Structure 1
Amino acid sequence: MGGHLIMDDAHLLTSLQKDSFDYFIHEVNPANGLIRDKTAENWPASIAAVGMALTVYTIGVERGFMSRAHAAQRTLTTLQFFAESEQGTGINATGYKGFYYHFLDMETGRRAWDCELSSIDTGLLLTGVLTSAQYFTQDNAVEQKIREFADLLYQRADWQWMLAGSQLICHGWKPETGFLQWHWEGYDEALILYLLALGSPTFPIGPESYAAWTTSYEWKCIYDIEYLYAGPLFIHQMSHLWVDFRNIRDDFMRTHDADYFENSRRATLIQQQYAIKNPMGFEQYNALCWGVTASDGPGNLVKKIRGVERLFFDYVARGAPFGPDDGTLAPWAVAACLPFAPEVVLPSISHFQHLRLREVNPYGFKASFSPTFQAEEPHKAGWVSPYHFGINEGPTVIMIENHLHDFPWKMMRENPYIQAGLISAGFDGGWLAAARKISVQNENTANTRQTSNNIEKANPSALSEGEKI
């Protein structure tokens, strides 16, 4: 894909990728590998951001942003912390049943803010863990330990327990009150979660759970575009950070003659069309200025703007075209759409650059901005978030990499657990069909060798030298 970029585009993307990469170098506790959720004083770590960091480090090595030795040691420190941290029902533990609390204290690694043991955030963490094992394959002590810890962490997660008596995976658990009342249903970021649970060699859920999840999908037609609906952009991106959904289909997508990659492309185009139509009359919404997703906001308040009372939000999962929307846009969410629709994303990235959303800014684009909500200190973009978030920077780095080099996707196409999860979910076609064919060939070869060895052990003279395999 990179060959189709003009030089200015290529430079813009690589510089944006490097700036976003730096978040994971600086917003970290090097003693345990934990990544700060956002750039606010005394803020805790996000385990989802840690999962992204583990993936980002492999990209950093490939792009020359950090040495392999540095990346491997940082990765090992991180995995060792999670492998050896307290697993139990105590309110100050780090995790339980192979799952981890959504937010952890940056220094102690213990549960922060009485938060939940989070299934989805653990899933994003574990996908990063699997990426580490897929990348660090050299025959040395550090990389061998990375692979050992990665297997331990993935295989320890008890997905059957997280069903909480349902066919659907539960959102999480708290030591004070038990399982949360919500389960993952409706199309959302849990696609990767179900694949991980289906592919587990230790505590797998069954295909009936995946089928139950897909029955809660909503197929809609918006702006004459048919797609599997979800309002916030991040839902159409999160699982795609690691899994290449191009030309592979489950039963649901076969029925609609599409795949999840094409679906995310359609969601991207719908978001742009929503901004062009601008039904709520927000400032600066247009073909270049769009991107409604979960993001930071100006605050929970009502403010009269040009004679119109506007309701604004703090951090919330904004969505289009059915809301909630308060005029707040997220440049990172547009950048993370790059593989799906580069022809509409690249001009928007350039536009955000012209809005001065990277000035005096160490980590790429600002997290979010609201042209409608005018801040006390005027800015071309109106209100601008003062913070950066790990779960914004990670998708920026990873999706630019997928677009330019296909690197994270290539790694995870070869991961046996991801392959197993996809197959159990009923996916087939494209690269997965080719991978299954190679797997069967390798298995047949291994079985032939084992049979030959067994025969030879039983009767060493049964095979001539020329017949031995």
Structure 2
Amino acid sequence: MNNRKLLSITTLVIGSFFLVTCNNNQRESATTREKGHPASFASDEEFLDFIQKTHLNYMWEGAEPISGLAPERIHMDGIYPENDADVITTGGSGFGVAGLLVGINRGFIPREEGVERLHKITDYLTASDRFHGIWPHWLHGPAGKVKAFSQKDNGGDLVESAFLMQGLLCVREYFKNGNESEKQLAGKINTLWREMDWTWYLNGQDVLYWHWSPEYGWEMNFPLEGYNECLITYILAASSPTYSIPAAAYHNGWARGGEIKSDAVAYNYPLVLKHNGAEKYGGPLFWAHYSYIGLNPKGLKDQYADYWQLNRNQALINYEYCVENPKGFEGYGDNCWGLTASYSLRGYSSHMPAKNDLGVITPTAALSSFPYTPDQSMRALKHFYFDLGGKIWGKYGFYDAFSIQYDWYPQRYLAIDQLTIAPMIENYRTGLLWKLFMGAPEIQEGLKKLGFTYENEK
């Protein structure tokens, strides 16, 4: 079964290969670090510009050349799992597409060049393997053909496709009234959006299913029940102009007939919803990031939750746990926090408070939480960059994860961690992506259909 998908219901996932602790010979030279690691900035705004520009560059300069999409991983040590170096990730690419839009809007990427890249991406996605309009988790970059994530996970991946379309719809909204080329781009995205058959993935039930394979059918058998990172899937499925699911699937499937609600409290912060497999302190922090690249939790409520309170509390619980540091790991504290799914000394693992704390800090956890915890995230950012930068900084920004406790500093990146940083910092700074996505007329209708209310802050 898909490693990251299991993070929603398990406390520990071991990847198909193990990381090798970096030694001094693997680390970048001091000269290389200095070129891409300025010692100071004129202001915090300039600092955030630099951080966003560097991290979104994973999707710009680091893109797989044929597709323009995000490689699943970039290892600066050059060591990859077998046949994995040219694999692209559809979900991570959705975050990357949102980051490209941030780069275009901020002038990091020339508008015309950005539009050209986005045309390349949409043309590739149009021609690549799809399953009832739904992309697989992984594609072989040069060929556009599905690469199985696991034996039976070789077809459509509804959740990763939702992450991808979330980013694409932001692009559509941004360019839909632009010049002729930009309008054509918006039209291509609209066609892809309308071709996604969400109803197929109900499998005749009152719940969405994560996978379908032409070879194995529904054998993966993974119903999407909350709460985890998958909320955006139901929002998009209800919002579809062509294959909209009934509201009952959301209430009976995702919300489990109301059983999704929680009365748990940690560090005086209500958890709000039951976090699958992490009901006491909350799950890994990517649950507060992936669905909220475009979906704005501010002012968003339904009968189950206030989504701003939900996400902010999860981030604060994660922060408070690291400050308390009950396991006594070296390095944890007020300026060094953040537990989420990432590489670890044991492979790929779902780090979270208490239940799976392995002494590993993942920078994206704190940095992608900027909208929820701006002060705590800024302290972490400055510590990561100015105090630890020589060990954890590289060409595309902070490496995926590190452990001071175990003197472990691998020079490796993962798209799904790296590419949420620039978009979520932008949502903190300007709300750009939130405004675009929430402004889409289909999304407004879909939210109403599911019983959400949204008080847009002016």
TM superposition score normalised by structure 1: 0.80
The answer for the alignment partner of 2:96 in structure 1 is 53
Task: String of CA shifts for 1:233-290, please: whole Å, max 9, x gaps.
Answer: 000121111111212211112xxxxx21221111111111111222222222222211
Q: Using CA pairs under 8 Å that are at least 6 residues apart, name the structure with larger relative contact order, 1 or 2.
A: 2
Letter aligned with residue 235 of structure 1 = W
| Conserved 8 A contact 1:234-1:294 | yes
Q: CA deviation at 1:359?
A: 6.0
Residue in 2 that maps onto 1:412: 437
Q: Tell me which amino acid in the other structure corresponds to 1:14.
A: D
- Are positions 1:217 and 2:260 aligned together? yes
Q: Which runs of 5+ in 2 are unaligned?
A: 1-40, 276-281
Aligned to 2:60: 25
Q: What root-mean-square deviation, in Å, do the aligned CA atoms of Structure 1 and Structure 2 show?
A: 1.9
> Which range moves more in the overlay, 354-363 or 126-135?
354-363
**What amino acid maps onto 1:393 in structure 2?**
Q
- Residue aligning to 2:301: 249
Contact 1:28 1:36 in 2 (8 A): yes
Equivalent AA in structure 2 for residue 277 of structure 1: E
> What does 1:258-337 correspond to in 2, within 5 Å?
259-298=306-345, 313-321=346-354, 323-337=355-369
For the residues of structure 1 that align with 2:421 and 2:115, how far apart are their CA atoms? Answer: 22
Query: 1:239 aligned to 2:291?
Result: yes
Report the more deviating stretch, 29-38 or 363-372: 29-38
Give deviations 1:333-382, integer Å, cap 9, x for gaps.
10000011112111111111212267661111111011222xxxxxxxx2
Give 1:62's match in structure 2, choosing from 100, 105, 112. Answer: 105
Shift of 1:407: 1.1
Equivalent of residue 347 in structure 1, options 379, 389, 406: 379
Which 10-residue stretch deviates more, 386-395 or 34-43? Answer: 34-43
What is aligned with 1:149?
188
Letter paired with 1:329: I
Counterpart CA distance in 2 for 1:408 and 1:360 is 26
Pairing 1:163–2:202 present: yes
d(CA) in 2 for partners of 1:286, 1:103: 36
**Structure 2 CA distance for aligned equivalents of residues 265 and 355 of structure 1:** 26
Q: 1:108 deviation in Å? A: 0.7
Distance 2:411 2:449 in 1: 43
Alignment of 1:431-442 (within 5 A): 431=456
Aligned residues: 392
Superposed displacement of residue 184, structure 1: 1.0
Are residues 1:104 and 2:103 paired? no
Deviation at 1:27, TM superposition (A): 1.9
Counterpart amino acid of residue 423 in structure 1: K
Mapping of residues 199-210 of structure 1, within 5 Å? 199-210=239-250
One-letter amino acid matched to 1:355: L
C-alpha contact (below 8 Å) 2:133/2:192 kept by paired residues = yes
Identity of aligned residues (%): 28
Equivalent-residue separation in structure 1 for 2:443 and 2:146 (angstroms) = 29
CA offsets, 1:418-441, max 9 Å, x none?
212211121114129x9xxxxxxx
Following superposition, which runs of at least 4 residues in structure 1 exceed 6 angstroms of deviation?
none
Residue 393 of structure 1 corresponds to: 418
Task: Indicate if the aligned counterparts of 1:369 and 1:383 stay in contact, CA closer than 8 A.
Answer: yes
Q: Say yes or no: does 1:134 pair with 2:173.
A: yes
In 1, are the aligned partners of 2:394 and 2:411 still within 8 Å (CA)? no
Residues 186 and 218 of structure 1 are in contact (CA less than 8 Å); yes or no, is this contact kept in structure 2?
Answer: no
3-state DSSP of counterpart to 2:265? strand
> Where do 5+ consecutive residues of structure 1 fail to align?
1-5, 86-93, 254-258, 299-312, 374-381, 435-469
The amino acid across from 2:135 in the alignment is Y
Amino acid at match of 1:406: G
Task: Name the SS for the 1:388 alignment partner.
Answer: strand
> Which residue of structure 1 aligns with residue 224 of structure 2?
184
1:18-65 C-alpha deviation (Å, 9 max, x unpaired): 110111112223432222111045241000122122212221111111
CA distance in 1, matches of 2:206, 2:394: 45
Matched, 1:10 2:54: no
The 2-side partners of 1:59 and 1:421 are apart by 25
**Partner Cα separation in structure 1 for residue 347 and residue 302 of structure 2:** 37
